[in-house]
Amino acid sequence: MKKQERADHINKRLEELYPVVPVPLDHKDPYTLLVAVLLSAQCTDVRVNQVTPNLFKLADNPFDMVKVKVSDIENIIRPCGLAPRKSKAISTLSQMLIDQYDGEVPNDLEALERLPGVGHKTASVVVSQAFGVPAFPVDTHIHRLCQRWGLTNGKNVVQTEKDCKKVFPEDRWNKLHLQIIFYGREYCTARGCDGTKCPICREVYPNRKKAVATKK
């Protein structure tokens, strides 16, 4: 198969496997999603979902969050890791949302990326999942799988994102990135597959014998 043929096959197979994909992080609006995604850096979605109920019980909007001591935020989110940095970012970005956006989360990538603790991937998740703006957030699962599937040879997530956007239809980006994440967790894990074992890896490269080493 050529690259585009592989992409088309993967697109079809993932839609068959995951016709409905829930957003992994529990939230009720753009603000709670933004905070949850920020907390998910170097942390599992499961752990974030265990922590956010207590945080959002205390404050689930920027106006209430700025009234909470940073130390109190830090104590609640400690299980997510990087608590000092994340707690300060949550407090500061909440104040910025009040000062610059009347307490609303902007639906613009560049505006989101100017908020503390919010990188390109976090901003991409928020605009795609909260506002339906086409984006293709790339995490470690997607980076690893797209290399195994021969869709990119990029050594970083920035190049992988660009390559994925070229081969997948824009109207599929928001759902597809979630489908790849779900597939990676279920079938094509870091240790469970090396590019030769899971169903899609075998389908797109039926004659592959050697393992695929992920480029970081």
Q: What is the dihedral of CA 176, 181, 184, 189, to 10 degrees?
A: 160
Q: Where are the alpha helices (DSSP H) in 59-195?
A: 62-65, 70-77, 83-101, 109-113, 120-131, 140-148, 157-167, 173-186
Residue pair 129/123 in contact by the 8 Å Cβ criterion: no
Region for residue 10 given its phi and psi (left: phi exceeds 0; alpha: psi -120 to 50; beta: otherwise): alpha
8 labelled catalytic: no
2 labelled catalytic: no
Q: Count of CB atoms within 10 A of residue 56's CB?
A: 20
* Euclidean distance between CA atoms 177 and 180, whole angstroms: 5
Query: Which residue in 139, 165, 175, 194 is the catalytic one?
Result: 139
User: Distance from first CA to last CA of the chain, Å, rounded?
Assistant: 25
Q: Count of CB atoms within 10 A of residue 210's CB?
A: 8
Q: Count of CB atoms within 10 A of residue 97's CB?
A: 23
List residues with catalytic annotation.
Answer: 121, 139
